[in-house]
């Protein structure tokens, strides 16, 4: 048995998320079908994070166990061949020890959220950004974001159906920058609650619009109540960009 660690990118549009589901096509199903077509095996592909419907990935990590010890490039190229009809690509495939687990071995995850902040709507990037036509105050959002850094109970920013055992997480970074007509939110933590990034971005948009101040964001955090938080940003602008492991 050989275990392979894969780094993948995908366009989340048209998928019900990473996980195989009965109500539509998941990225996991596409990859597992490619494994079967390539290697003739019904293997389960385990990912570092179960991205939601419409959420994209630039650096998703997954692993798969195959009976034969294939060359790494063969695994990558064969899977890509059998997924060519879908917006999913294996960037790298590396042989790893059997104690590696894409999800449980991960020590950090990074997400990027993109807001297109201009009056004209997107044409080429429709479904890939959150279009916000009203001008946003980036310095105010960046200042307010400091409230969320650190070890907190993030109940106000978790989905009501989140299945995490605890709402307490440590947010390592939340950097907000202007990049041309876009506003980028670069967020890092060991792990996240369901919808945590999207709920934080939605709340920070209110700060950018002047509806909230940093004190309002602090009050929402302290309330430990989802109803006290801001809106959930759409999945369009969210990307899983990197998963960190102890060796790198």
Listed residues 41, 76, 96: the one ending a domain: 96
- Residues labelled as active-site residues: 52
Residues 138 and 24 in one domain: no
User: Full-prediction pTM beyond 0.75?
Assistant: yes
Residue 101 resides in a domain: no
Report if residue 8 sits inside a domain.
yes
Same domain, 133 and 214: yes
Domains of the chain: total: 2
Of the residues 96, 121, 140, which one is the last residue of a structural domain? 96
Query: Tell me, what's the pLDDT at 248?
Result: 56
Residue 102 counted as domain residue? no
- CATH number of the domain residue 55 falls in: 3.30.70.580
- 233 and 150 belong to one structural domain: yes
153 within domain boundaries: yes
> Can you tell me the distance from the alpha carbon of 92 to that of 88, in angstroms, rounded to the nearest whole number?
13
pLDDT of residue 39: 95
CATH of the domain at 191: 3.30.70.660
Q: Are residues 22 and 127 in the same domain?
A: no
Residues 169 and 209 in one domain: yes
Whose tokens are 């939605």? That residue is: 202
In a domain, 34, yes or no: yes
Residues 90 and 114 in one domain: no
Q: What is the pLDDT of residue 163?
A: 87
Q: Six-digit token pair at 39?
A: 């290697």
**Among the three residues 39, 61, 96, which one is the final residue of a domain in this structure?**
96
| 118 plus 212 within the same structural domain | yes
Tell me: do 137 and 166 sit in the same domain.
yes
Q: Which residues form the domain of 69?
A: 2-96
Can you give the pLDDT of all 248 residues of the chain as single tens digits?
Answer: 899 999 999 999 999 999 999 899 999 999 999 999 999 999 999 999 999 999 999 999 999 999 999 999 999 999 999 999 999 999 999 999 999 999 999 999 999 999 999 999 999 999 999 999 999 999 999 999 999 999 999 999 999 898 899 999 999 999 999 999 999 999 999 999 999 999 999 999 999 999 999 999 999 999 999 999 999 999 999 999 999 999 75
- 141 and 210 part of one domain: yes
């Amino acid at each position: 048995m050989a275990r392979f660690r894969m780094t993948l990118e995908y366009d989340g549009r048209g998928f019900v998320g990473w996980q195989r589901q009965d109500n539509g096509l998941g990225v996991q199903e596409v990859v597992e079908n490619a494994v079967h077509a390539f290697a003739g095996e019904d293997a389960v592909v385990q990912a570092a994070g179960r991205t939601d419907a419409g959420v994209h990935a630039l650096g998703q990590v997954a692993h798969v166990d195959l009976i034969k010890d294939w060359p790494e490039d063969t695994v990558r190229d064969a899977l890509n061949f059998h997924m060519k009809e879908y917006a999913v690509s294996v960037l790298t495939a590396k042989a790893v020890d059997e104690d590696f687990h894409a999800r449980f071995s991960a020590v950090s995850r990074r997400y990027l959220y993109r807001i297109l902040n201009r009056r004209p709507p997107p044409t080429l990037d429709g479904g890939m950004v959150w279009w916000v036509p009203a001008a946003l105050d980036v310095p105010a959002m960046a200042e307010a974001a400091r409230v969320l850094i650190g070890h907190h109970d993030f109940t106000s920013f978790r989905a009501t159906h989140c299945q995490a055992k605890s709402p307490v997480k440590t947010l390592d970074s939340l950097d907000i920058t202007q990049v041309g007509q876009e506003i980028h939110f670069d967020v890092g933590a060991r792990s996240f609650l369901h919808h945590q990034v999207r709920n934080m971005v939605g709340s920070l948009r209110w700060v950018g619009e002047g509806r909230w101040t940093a004190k309002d964001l602090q009050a929402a955090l302290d309330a430990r109540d989802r109803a006290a938080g801001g809106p959930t940003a759409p999945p369009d602008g969210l990307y899983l960009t990197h998963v960190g492991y102890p060796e790198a």
